[in-house]
Copies of this chain bind each other. A is one copy, B any other.
Amino acid sequence: MSLDHAILGFLREQPASGYDLKTLCFDHDAQHFWTADQAQIYRTLERLQRAGFVSARVRRQRSRPDRTVYSLTQAGSEELDRWTATVTPLPPLRDPFLMQLRFAAGLPDDDLLALLRARRIAVQARLDALRDRVSTEGRGGTREAVLHRLTLESVVATTRATIDWLDDSIDLLSALAEQSRPAPAGSQRRLFAPRPDEKGSTP
């Protein structure tokens, strides 16, 4: 029921329509810790309203379809406080990529390395996007701003750790692949030192 509380959280900061929540909140602000389908947001709003946690009023608009703007009620605010103060157990770990890696023993070395390198690129792109957000959104001294910054930094930290792990894993697996690769003719043992523009295998 995290989505419920995310919506309550956003509505506490300011009233919003389902459309606002989707385009402004979930597609941007919350992007690094939660996402939500548009249909799901509307259905959840309906449910929260029935539960008395939010109230709705329709805003007529001339140039646009009418908006149903939701606000947090007192009960909603209390529920949000109750929930934020609740200690919850760690959720089970779930990572399709690690699963893929765990069962990739059947792949040729090159395919395995390609998989890891592709992953590295994707994770690096995510990290770059996060850093952009830290530098643009990471200002402000209000309590909300500090907490928002902390959530961004959490994801930055784990993402960096993932990149480091990927680098180590790529190094390890290429070394293993090199060992087991049928040596290209005349290269079992180097007769000459590597040229200066060639990288050594290990520091």
> Given that A33-B98, A103-B12, A123-B90 are contacting pairs, would A157 and B151 also be in contact in the complex, using a CB cutoff of 8 Å?
no
Our pick among B33, B101, B104, B172 for the contact of A94 (Cβ within 8 Å) is B33
Q: How far is the CB of A175 from chain B (nearest CB, A)?
A: 11
Contacts of A97 in B (CB 8 A): 88
Complex alpha-carbon distance, A153 and B98, angstroms: 10
Interface pick from A38-46, A53-61, A142-150:
A142-150
Interface of A is mostly: helix
Q: How far is the CB of A145 from chain B (nearest CB, A)?
A: 9
Complex alpha-carbon distance, A140 and B127, angstroms: 33
- With an 8 A cutoff between CB atoms, is A186 at the interface? no
Contacts of A33 in B (CB 8 A): 93-95, 98-99, 102
Q: How many residues of A contact B (CB 8 A)?
A: 71
Our pick among B84, B94, B160 for the contact of A103 (Cβ within 8 Å) is B84
Give this chain's copy count. 2
> Given that A90-B123, A90-B126, A93-B155 are contacting pairs, would A102 and B161 also be in contact in the complex, using a CB cutoff of 8 Å?
no
> Using a CB–CB distance below 8 Å, which chain A residues touch chain B?
2, 5-6, 8-9, 12, 30-35, 77, 80-81, 83-107, 111, 114-115, 118-119, 122-123, 126, 142-144, 146-148, 150-151, 153-155, 157-158, 160-162, 164-165, 168-169, 172-173, 176
Some 30 contacts from A to B, beta carbons below 8 A apart, are A5-B100, A6-B103, A9-B99, A30-B102, A32-B93, A33-B98, A34-B95, A35-B94, A80-B106, A84-B100, A84-B104, A84-B107, A85-B111, A87-B115, A87-B118, A90-B126, A93-B155, A95-B155, A98-B155, A101-B147, A101-B150, A105-B144, A150-B169, A150-B172, A153-B168, A154-B169, A157-B161, A157-B164, A158-B161, A158-B165
